[in-house]
């Protein structure tokens, strides 16, 4: 019964995922993957979704686990939903270690030794010990692995699926869209998805980071300038908005656009024309606007720091992207997606996440959202000694929720000590004083960073906002 193609690695799998990403199709078939770890060396095998296989040592077994502690016919796996294991009267026994989260979200491991010929269900988070060989078996649907959309988005939670449906519907309309959500939640990827799914997808997608534009250059950058408009303007130059013609302009961090320039932007949105600095006449442009912010713009309007009329113009439709902690179903599919991508970048097969590592991810709160998860997995994939990511590779505290590098979002005004102050100072130094980027690095919102600067008495390094 040797129908198992032993040694077929996950690389083949990745190719398939890539093909599906290109064609946009996806099969609903479940598949079973087995990771065998023999003295620290892991090999990954794809198994059929049905039937049964014998694990053992030598050619008498369907899957050869070449280690002295393994019997020739050690255990049988019944492949299906769920996967079931049976010990075949092995010399050193079969143990099933199942990790579950208890009501306090603490990982508990149940260690069960199987009697000869006894059967047990193998949960996705379980590890089998055949003698001293560790076997992980995972029954995965495509949903759980990497169902990346053609635009590279992984969407598994009902909340994000709903949001993407909305994206499909509004993409075809000319409506301006305002994307709101915490830092790292995916505003950028959603903006790109809106463009990619719109009739303008053949045109340019021009992203403008309003926080990164130096104040003196905002006008010239956004609206362009004519020759001789100011000292140094030796040639005429179209602005970013003009270069987005027939496509989409993505106004990122729109909440950071200084009040003085908001009126001119409003005129572009209302009139569909842009006037270069120093030009006599405006030029018509055909641009779809998508804006994003992690600020509460409505509050900024109330405070008078954002123009109400511009707010309403930009928010033809508002899409709120929920933080990752409110859509936990996305955590594992995203983690596997990033592990596969990191593996491909490192020229290796995707690293598997150990059941313990998955448990740690499942209870982390991810204040830095998807970006933090991506950073955690990319770092872990680079650090992991074998083909399996262990909890310590994640560098996330297992007891408390926030990552060591992260700063809790809540209770802005409460100092947390020298350590945190130093991390903020370091992050600012690393980002040349750019608060937005430093906040990103710390996995917190810019708002929180700014308030912490006050708490710790750190001088604000960039221009003060009006």
Ligand X SMILES: Nc1ncnc2c1ncn2[C@@H]1O[C@H](COP(=O)(O)OP(=O)(O)OP(=O)(O)O)[C@@H](O)[C@H]1O
**Taking the complex as a whole, how short is the minimal distance between the CB of residue 146 and ligand X, in angstroms?**
9
Residue in 129, 187, 307, 327 binding ligand X, rule: CB under 6 A: 187
**Taking the complex as a whole, how short is the minimal distance between the CB of residue 72 and ligand X, in angstroms?**
45
Residue in 126, 135, 370, 441 binding ligand X, rule: CB under 6 A: 370
Instruction: Tell me if 146 sits within 8 A of 336, measured CB to CB.
Output: yes
Using the contact rule CB under 5 A, the part of the chain among 181-189, 283-291, 357-365, 436-444 near Mg ion is 181-189
Distance, CA of 398 to chain centre: 20
Two tokens, residue 278: 């120093």
Pick 188 or 362: Cβ nearer ligand X: 188
Alpha helices in 304-414 (DSSP H): 308-314, 331-345, 355-363, 369-383, 391-394
**Taking the complex as a whole, how short is the minimal distance between the CB of residue 232 and Mg ion, in angstroms?**
31
Cα angle, residue 281 at apex, residues 278 and 287 outer, rounded to 5°:
100
Q: How many angstroms separate the CA atoms of 43 and 96, rounded?
A: 19
Helix (H, G, I), strand (E, B) or coil at 45: strand
**Taking the complex as a whole, how short is the minimal distance between the CB of residue 345 and ligand X, in angstroms?**
13
Residue with tokens 């903020």: 424
Residue in 127, 134, 136, 185 binding ligand X, rule: CB under 6 A: 185
Binding mask 331-360 for ligand X (x = CB under 6 A): ---x--------------------------
Q: How many angstroms separate the CA atoms of 54 and 89, rounded?
A: 12
Contact partner, 181, from ligand X, Mg ion, none, Cβ < 5-8 Å per class? ligand X
188 scored as a contact of ligand X (CB under 6 A) = yes
**Taking the complex as a whole, how short is the minimal distance between the CB of residue 151 and ligand X, in angstroms?**
9
Q: How many angstroms separate the CA atoms of 181 and 184, rounded?
A: 8
Using the contact rule CB under 6 A, the part of the chain among 22-30, 53-61, 185-193, 283-291 near ligand X is 185-193
Two tokens, residue 155: 């969407």
Residue in 71, 157, 176, 294 binding ligand X, rule: CB under 6 A: 294
378 scored as a contact of ligand X (CB under 6 A) = no
186 scored as a contact of ligand X (CB under 6 A) = yes
**Taking the complex as a whole, how short is the minimal distance between the CB of residue 364 and Mg ion, in angstroms?**
21
323 scored as a contact of ligand X (CB under 6 A) = no
Two tokens, residue 426: 């370091």
Helix (H, G, I), strand (E, B) or coil at 391: helix
Pick 42 or 257: Cβ nearer ligand X: 257
Q: Which residue in the shown chain puts its C-beta closest to Mg ion?
A: 188
| Long-range contacts, 38-41 (Cβ 8 Å, 24+) | 38/65, 38/66, 38/67, 38/133, 39/67, 40/385, 40/386, 41/386
- Return all residues near 295 (Cβ < 8 A) that are at least 6 apart: 255, 446, 447
Site of interaction with ligand X (CB under 6 A) = 152-155, 181, 183-189, 294, 334, 370-371, 374, 440
Site of interaction with Mg ion (CB under 5 A) = 187-188
């Amino acid at each position: 019964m040797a129908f198992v193609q032993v040694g077929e690695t996950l690389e083949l799998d990745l190719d398939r995922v890539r093909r599906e990403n290109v064609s946009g199709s996806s099969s609903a078939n479940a598949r079973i993957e087995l990771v065998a770890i023999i003295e620290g060396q892991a090999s990954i095998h794809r198994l059929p979704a049905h039937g049964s296989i014998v694990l053992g040592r030598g050619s008498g077994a369907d899957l050869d686990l070449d280690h002295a502690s393994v019997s020739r016919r050690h255990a049988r796996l019944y492949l299906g939903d769920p996967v079931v294991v049976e010990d075949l009267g092995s010399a050193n026994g079969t143990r099933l270690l199942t990790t579950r989260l208890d009501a306090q979200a603490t990982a508990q491991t149940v260690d069960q030794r199987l009697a000869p010929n006894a059967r047990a269900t193998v949960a996705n988070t379980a590890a089998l010990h055949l003698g001293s060989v560790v076997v992980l078996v995972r029954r995965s649907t495509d949903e759980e692995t990497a169902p990346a959309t053609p635009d590279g988005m992984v969407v598994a939670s009902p909340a994000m699926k709903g949001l993407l449906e909305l994206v499909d519907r509004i993409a075809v309309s000319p409506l301006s869209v305002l994307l709101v959500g915490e830092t790292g939640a995916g505003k950028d990827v959603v903006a790109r998805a809106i463009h990619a799914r719109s009739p303008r997808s053949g045109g340019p997608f021009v992203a403008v980071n309003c926080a990164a534009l130096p104040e003196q250059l905002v006008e010239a950058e956004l609206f362009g300038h004519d020759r001789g408009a100011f000292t140094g303007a030796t040639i005429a130059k179209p602005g970013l908005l003009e270069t987005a013609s027939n496509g989409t302009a993505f106004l990122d961090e729109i909440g950071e656009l200084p009040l003085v320039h908001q009126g001119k932007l409003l005129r572009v949105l209302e009139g569909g024309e842009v006037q270069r600095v120093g030009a006599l006449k405006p030029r018509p442009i055909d641009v779809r606007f998508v804006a994003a912010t992690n600020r509460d713009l409505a509050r900024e309007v109330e405070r008078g720091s954002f123009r109400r009329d511009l707010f309403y113009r930009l928010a033809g439709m508002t899409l709120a992207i929920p933080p990752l902690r409110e859509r936990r179903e996305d955590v594992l599919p995203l983690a596997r997606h990033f592990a596969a991508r990191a593996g491909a970048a490192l020229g290796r097969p995707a690293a598997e996440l150990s059941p313990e590592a998955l448990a740690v991810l499942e209870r982390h709160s991810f204040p830095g959202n998807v970006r933090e998860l991506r950073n955690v997995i990319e770092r872990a994939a680079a650090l992991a000694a074998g083909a399996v990511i262990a909890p310590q590779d994640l560098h996330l505290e297992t007891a408390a929720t926030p990552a060591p590098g992260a700063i809790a979002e809540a209770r802005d005004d409460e100092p947390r000590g020298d350590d945190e102050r130093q991390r903020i100072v370091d992050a600012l130094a690393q980002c040349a004083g750019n608060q937005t980027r430093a906040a990103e690095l710390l996995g917190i919102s810019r708002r929180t960073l700014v308030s912490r600067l006050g708490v710790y008495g750190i001088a604000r390094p960039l221009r003060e906002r009006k």
